[in-house]
């Protein structure tokens, strides 16, 4: 089959890690008789430099015309990047937010998985890690505080800024369904996270989740307050299967969860709408400090490409081949610098490799 893949290389390490993902996809194409036709899409800082805005209408049109979009990362160091002084709606992140909204990518899947080979990188105590953990965060991505009305104005000489958190029942229902659907393919447990003891939007969230849950009698579900969830992720991450939550809470908790696994350079993500289309990107950022050095870990991007094969193209076997190849190189002891053993751990059988070499190794094993 032929697939049109939009490619957002972006800023920082983005171009380097995307190159490796394409390398692996090309190997899949060869081996399984597919063809991936890439079209570059400008977004983020590089788009600002070229066009003055972080995402042009033309770029959105190209994304819409693709079967799926693979992304590296966007943005620069908040304090030093040349885009930091621009108005917020002109900054790199604004491009990403606009793309999410324009393509209606409301369902953000963020796996938080502990790789056994990398357990020593996990910041938690060995007895908490136990035999590992494997969570999926289902974050609502096109509503809430991110896209509500906002305003900064002076009232009687006092500057006041307001953001609005709004959800309607339909927005909650469609993301809740996605959460329960994915739980059915996993360990059949949903933890819905809100702040229902304070927020109206959370009370509506809770009510709709309870309605949706009725259609999934096999799934065990629970409600958890967001402050408690932030604690439980550190105390006992094993208890979680699917965490279902709104946009801002999902932003905070998914970053916490990925750090708890110690595998942030390894974690992929998918942003989906109601069609087969999806935007696939690593969980980590653009890491401007190591850009251009050839040392960034491409695995999260390569695994994002695997998610693309699975969710947008229904190529389960091919996705699995990539995931197995990643596990294989880890087993063989290959590591980029970010996942090297901690000081004091053994380095026997471990080989440090750069970005391109890691891509080669995975492509070879596909």
Output the known binding site for substrate: 100, 110, 139, 227
Which of 80, 69, 75, 43 has the alpha carbon at shortest distance from 58? 43
What's the closest the beta carbon of residue 92 comes to ligand IPM, in angstroms? 8
Using a 10 angstrom Cβ sphere, with 0-12 exposed, 13-18 middle and 19 or more buried, the burial of residue 215 is: exposed
Does 198 contact a copy of itself by CB under 8 A? yes
Which listed residue (158, 185, 348, 349) binds a copy of itself by CB under 8 A? 158
Annotation: binding site: 100, 110, 139, 227, 251, 255, 285-297
Q: How far apart are CA 147 and CA 131, in angstroms?
A: 39
Does 221 contact a copy of itself by CB under 8 A? no
For the question of residue 189 being annotated catalytic, the response is no
What's the closest the beta carbon of residue 89 comes to a copy of itself, in angstroms? 11
Q: How far apart are CA 185 and CA 219, in angstroms?
A: 10
When the beta carbons of 191 and 271 are compared against ligand IPM, the nearer one is 271
When the beta carbons of 152 and 197 are compared against ligand IPM, the nearer one is 197
What backbone torsions phi and psi does residue 364 show, to the nearest 5 degrees? -60, -35
Subset of residues 100 to 129 that bind a copy of itself, contact rule: CB under 8 A: 122-125, 127-128
For the question of residue 195 being annotated catalytic, the response is yes
* b (16+ CB within 10 A) / e for 134-170: ebbbbbbbbbbbbbeeeeeeeeeeeeeeeeebebeee
Q: How far apart are CA 45 and CA 84, in angstroms?
A: 10
Q: How far apart are CA 322 and CA 353, in angstroms?
A: 19
Residue 133 interaction partner, one of a copy of itself, ligand IPM, none, beta carbon < 5-8 Å per kind = none
Q: How far apart are CA 58 and CA 66, in angstroms?
A: 13
Which of 287, 314, 315 has the alpha carbon at shortest distance from 300? 287
Paired with 35 in beta bridges are 2
Does 230 contact a copy of itself by CB under 8 A? yes
Paired with 2 in beta bridges are 35
Does 194 contact a copy of itself by CB under 8 A? no
Sole window of 101-109, 130-138, 232-240, 267-275 interacting with a copy of itself (rule: CB under 8 A) = 232-240
3-state secondary structure of 263: coil
Are residues 68 and 6 in contact, defined by beta-carbon separation less than 8 angstroms?
yes
What's the closest the beta carbon of residue 346 comes to ligand IPM, in angstroms? 35
Measured from each CB, the residue nearest to ligand IPM is 93
For the question of residue 146 being annotated catalytic, the response is yes
Does 228 contact a copy of itself by CB under 8 A? yes
When the beta carbons of 80 and 346 are compared against ligand IPM, the nearer one is 80
Options 22, 27, 98, 195, the catalytic residue: 195
> Looking at residue 342, what DSSP letter applies?
P
Are residues 280 and 305 in contact, defined by beta-carbon separation less than 8 angstroms?
yes
Are residues 138 and 257 in contact, defined by beta-carbon separation less than 8 angstroms?
no
Subset of residues 63 to 82 that bind a copy of itself, contact rule: CB under 8 A: 78-79
Residue 162 interaction partner, one of ligand IPM, a copy of itself, none, beta carbon < 5-8 Å per kind = a copy of itself
Are residues 17 and 72 in contact, defined by beta-carbon separation less than 8 angstroms?
yes
For the question of residue 227 being annotated catalytic, the response is yes
Q: How far apart are CA 54 and CA 44, in angstroms?
A: 5
For the question of residue 316 being annotated catalytic, the response is no
Q: In angstroms, what is the C-alpha Rg of the chain?
A: 20
Residues making contact with ligand IPM (CB under 6 A): 93, 96-97, 197-198, 227, 251
Annotation: binding site for NAD(+): 285-297
x/- letters, 6..45, toward a copy of itself (CB under 8 A):
----------------------------------------
Options 255, 327, 334, 360, the catalytic residue: 255
Residues with catalytic function: 146, 195, 227, 251, 255
Binding site for a copy of itself (CB under 8 A): 78-79, 88, 91, 93, 97, 122-125, 127-128, 145-146, 148, 150-152, 155, 158-170, 195-201, 203-204, 223, 225-228, 230-231, 233-235, 248-249, 251-256, 258-260, 264, 342-344
């Amino acid at each position: 089959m032929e697939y049109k893949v939009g490619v957002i290389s972006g800023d920082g390490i983005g171009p380097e890690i995307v190159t490796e993902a394409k390398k692996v996809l090309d190997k899949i194409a060869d081996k399984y008789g597919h063809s991936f036709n890439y079209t570059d899409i400008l977004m983020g800082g590089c788009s600002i430099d070229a066009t003055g805005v972080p995402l042009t209408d033309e770029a959105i049109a190209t994304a819409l015309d693709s079967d799926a979009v693979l992304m590296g990362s966007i943005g620069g160091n908040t304090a030093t990047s040349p885009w930091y002084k621009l108005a917020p709606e002109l900054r790199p992140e604004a491009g990403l937010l606009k793309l999410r909204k324009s393509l209606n990518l409301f369902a953000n899947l963020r796996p938080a998985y502990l790789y056994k080979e990398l357990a020593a990188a996990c910041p938690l105590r060995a007895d908490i890690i136990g035999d590992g953990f494997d969570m999926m965060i289902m974050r609502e991505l096109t509503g809430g505080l991110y896209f509500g009305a906002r305003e900064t104005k002076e009232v009687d000489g006092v500057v006041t800024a307001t953001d609005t958190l709004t959800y309607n029942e339909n927005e909650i229902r469609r993301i809740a369904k996605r959460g329960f659907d994915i739980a059915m393919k996993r360990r059949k447990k949903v933890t819905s996270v809100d702040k229902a003891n304070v927020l109206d939007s959370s009370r509506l969230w809770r009510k709709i989740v309870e309605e949706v849950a009725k259609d999934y009698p096999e799934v065990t579900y629970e409600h958890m307050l967001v402050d408690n969830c932030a604690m439980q992720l550190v105390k006992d991450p094993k208890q979680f299967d699917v965490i279902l939550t709104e946009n801002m809470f999902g932003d905070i908790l998914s970053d916490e969860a990925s750090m708890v696994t110690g595998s942030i350079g390894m974690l992929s993500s998918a942003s989906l709408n109601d069609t087969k289309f999806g935007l696939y990107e690593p969980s980590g950022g653009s890491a401007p400090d190591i850009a251009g050095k050839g040392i960034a870990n491409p695995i999260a991007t390569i695994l994002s490409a695997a998610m693309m094969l699975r969710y947008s193209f229904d190529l389960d076997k091919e996705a699995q081949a990539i995931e197995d190849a990643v596990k294989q190189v880890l087993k063989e002891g290959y590591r980029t610098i970010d996942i090297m053993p901690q000081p004091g751990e053994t380095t026997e059988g471990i080989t440090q490799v750069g970005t391109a070499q890691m891509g080669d190794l995975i492509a070879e094993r596909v």
